[in-house]
Structure 1
Amino acid sequence: MSTDNLPTAAAGPLLPDEYDDALRTRLAALDAASDAHAQDQRPDNTTRSYASDWKTWTAFCETLRIPPTAATRGTLRAFVDFLWSREKRAYATIDRKLAGISVTLRQHHGVVVDPEATKSARELLKDYRRQASENEEPERGRGKAPAMRIDALRQIVEKCSDDIFGVRDRAMLLLGFAIAARRAELAGLRLRNIVEDPDGNGLLVDVRVSKTDPRVVPVPYGKHSATCPVLAWKGWAERAQITDPDRHAFRAIHATGSVQPKGITPQRVGDIITAAGARARIPVLFTGHSVRSGMATEARRAGKDPKAIAQITGHKPNSSVLHGYMQIVDRWDTEDNALMGIGL
């Protein structure tokens, strides 16, 4: 039987070493375009952090007289040792800098850091932290943000004035609490991200600027008008005359009281939250994360399912970070003390 007219087997796909120059150029252009797009989507504070991480890394490499592209197991471990032992940096700061170095090398220099090298550096960092704990050294860094409990939130919003500044701050605090917001999430909200529920149940807040996945949080009307996030938001939107859907939801305000078209920075959000707590004479220094931690803590104490809490915070239900937000706030409460009520 002749095989002359039988179809030949289809050739397999090209392997990378078989690409011609034209294809390599097209792929390189696509990589550059995708990197630029990803950079545009990244929050400004993350971009600034990566720039700071790279600056620290390049300065370190200069002391060793090695190029900054030499992110090997040895150099990354030496970097961890330098930051921990010499500069006394916090654990979280060093961990983030390792991530920032890897991202910058990949995106801007085409260097992919060996995951095993990064892993070994992080293992060394964990060893240093464990040793510090065994030696009873104080924890480095600011630590967890104190949770803003409901009673403190009530006192704080009560002290917010009725002028334009107070109306904005009240809305920011209550809505931030309701959506368990980070600073950047509040700063990143646009008017189009906050809409009324079609059935009149409250607000639907689309949190797009987030370290976790974007989420839509259903915010119901509160039982108390003074702490209702829906009423607070409506009061601010009406008072500030916010109409452009693409403009920031929370704006800068001039000293004269005129609302500015530009939004406020994440740092400014944190400053407003801290100042509001001080104004109410709360004996705790609240930070930008306090409303987020406070919401998770109060929801846990109210017996809410971790899955329901995670839907608001944007975490996975079994996330260790989420459980870290659910702070133990009363050591003598039956809900917070595991020894109480067990039969001792």
Structure 2
Amino acid sequence: MSTGNLPARLGERPLLPAEFDDALRARLTELDAKAATHAQDKRPKNTRNAYKADWNTWEAFCQQFQVPPTAATSGTLCAFVDYLWHRERRAYSTIDRKLAGVAVTLRLEPYRVVVDPEATRAARKLLKDYRRESEAAEEPARGRGKAPAMRLVDLQRIVALCDTDVFGLRDRAMLLLGFSIAARRAELAGLRLRNIRDDDNGLLVDVRVSKTDPRTVPVPFAANPDICPVRAWKAWQQAAQISDPNLYAFRRVHHSGSVQPQGLTPQRAGDLITAAGLRAGFEELFTGHSVRSGMATEARRKGKDRKAIAAITGHKDGSKVLDGYMQIVDQWDENDNALIGLM
């Protein structure tokens, strides 16, 4: 048995990666694969589904170019970017995510392939070059772009036009509670009755199904009863006769008006928000993300502290996404806009 690749004793020089033997490399690869599999299992279902779609795109590309899917080299990844950008006309964010999806999937069983970071960097650099060229040529932006923020005045108009039947009660509760907890559509769809607890001051909403860490949002009664998320939730809960704590909070409703035990899919939750906006006469398409961005934007307009907003949205310190919400508002703040009061 070789002792060259055993852990170094105290005071000895540790081994460098180039000095690892085949047995140690195999053990490290197995540990990497287990860690990647664990991380994959803990990802939200919609993220796993997205990575699965990314892998399907990669396999189709590899088959067309007659290369094995495990050959994620600098050349193949750059060719993949070129293929998606020029042939399939995919959006920048979509291609960037597909690169991540390929790298993540390759680390899992049965591949156990760790993509060289330099290869990924080269592919992303090419993607940035393509985007710069597209912007310089003033080509139309690709993809849907950012979801429009649902401002408070928009929310008031939309919920005012929701019906008073069981369909309208569900949609009103989804919109107002979704706005109050800055929900993504998957977070709304994932809420169960046990996640929404009564409190003397309103509701305590445990957001368990999330892309980020779980969070608990204290939702107070609103001064305006017409847009009160607590009252809207209780009205829907009573109409739907929701009592089983394990059932979903927002459920399917049969066309006859009977509430079904099945919950909504994230896609359906987003579609209901879009449909509510269209019924209210808005031309821009609000999406499931609009209530989330709307809450962050409106809170900033009211002068709420960034940390207080992040506690509700679940953003981390230094989040670029949260920075974007702040910039929308702060560009007209006299302390952040050097032109205000200058002329």
Same fold (TM over 0.5): yes
| TM-score normalised by L of structure 1 | 0.87
Aligned-residue offset at 1:323: 2.3
Cα distance change on mapping 1:62 and 1:179 into 2, 3 Å: same
Aligned-residue offset at 1:339: 5.6
Structure 1 contact 95–122 (Cα < 8 Å) conserved: yes
Gaps in structure 2 of 5+ consecutive residues: 1-8
| Equivalent of 1:155 in 130, 154, 157 | 157
Counterpart of 1:3? none
- Structure 2 counterpart of 1:178, one-letter code: S
- Structure 1 counterpart of 2:321, one-letter code: V
Aligned-residue offset at 1:314: 1.0
Answer yes or no: is 1:244 the counterpart of 2:244: yes
- In structure 2, C-alpha distance between the alignment counterparts of 1:47 and 1:257, rounded to whole Å: 33
Structure 1 contact 60–79 (Cα < 8 Å) conserved: yes
Counterpart of 1:229? 229
Structure 1 window deviating more from structure 2 (58-67 vs 314-323): it is 314-323
Gaps in structure 1 of 5+ consecutive residues: 1-8
Cα distance change on mapping 1:290 and 1:343 into 2, 3 Å: same
- Structure 2 counterpart of 1:105, one-letter code: L
Cα distance change on mapping 1:270 and 1:335 into 2, 3 Å: farther
Counterpart of 1:103? 104
Counterpart of 2:209? 209
Could you list the per-position Cα deviations for residues 213-249 of structure 1 after superposition, in whole angstroms to 9, with x for gaps in the alignment? 2211111111111101111111111221212222111
Counterpart of 2:58? 57
Answer yes or no: is 1:264 the counterpart of 2:277: no
Aligned-residue offset at 1:135: 1.4
Aligned-residue offset at 1:282: 2.1
| TM-score normalised by L of structure 2 | 0.87
Aligned-residue offset at 1:54: 0.7
Cα distance change on mapping 1:144 and 1:30 into 2, 3 Å: closer
| Equivalent of 2:126 in 100, 104, 124 | 124
Answer yes or no: is 1:82 the counterpart of 2:83: yes
**Which structure 2 residues correspond to residues 266-305 of structure 1 after superposition, within 5 A?**
266-305=266-305
Structure 2 contact 58–69 (Cα < 8 Å) conserved: yes
- In structure 1, C-alpha distance between the alignment counterparts of 2:269 and 2:30, rounded to whole Å: 39
Structure 1 contact 293–326 (Cα < 8 Å) conserved: no
Aligned-residue offset at 1:341: 2.9
- Structure 1 counterpart of 2:279, one-letter code: R
- In structure 2, C-alpha distance between the alignment counterparts of 1:237 and 1:16, rounded to whole Å: 61
- In structure 2, C-alpha distance between the alignment counterparts of 1:129 and 1:190, rounded to whole Å: 41
User: What root-mean-square deviation, in Å, do the aligned CA atoms of Structure 1 and Structure 2 show?
Assistant: 3.0
Structure 1 contact 274–286 (Cα < 8 Å) conserved: yes
Cα distance change on mapping 1:131 and 1:68 into 2, 3 Å: same
Structure 1 window deviating more from structure 2 (318-327 vs 272-281): it is 318-327
Could you list the per-position Cα deviations for residues 76-98 of structure 1 after superposition, in whole angstroms to 9, with x for gaps in the alignment? 11111111122111001001101
Q: How many residues align?
A: 329
- In structure 2, C-alpha distance between the alignment counterparts of 1:244 and 1:36, rounded to whole Å: 33
- Structure 2 counterpart of 1:151, one-letter code: V
Counterpart of 1:72? 73
Counterpart of 1:338? 337
Structure 1 contact 329–336 (Cα < 8 Å) conserved: no
- In structure 1, C-alpha distance between the alignment counterparts of 2:178 and 2:334, rounded to whole Å: 26
What secondary structure is seen at the aligned counterpart in 2 of 1:328? helix
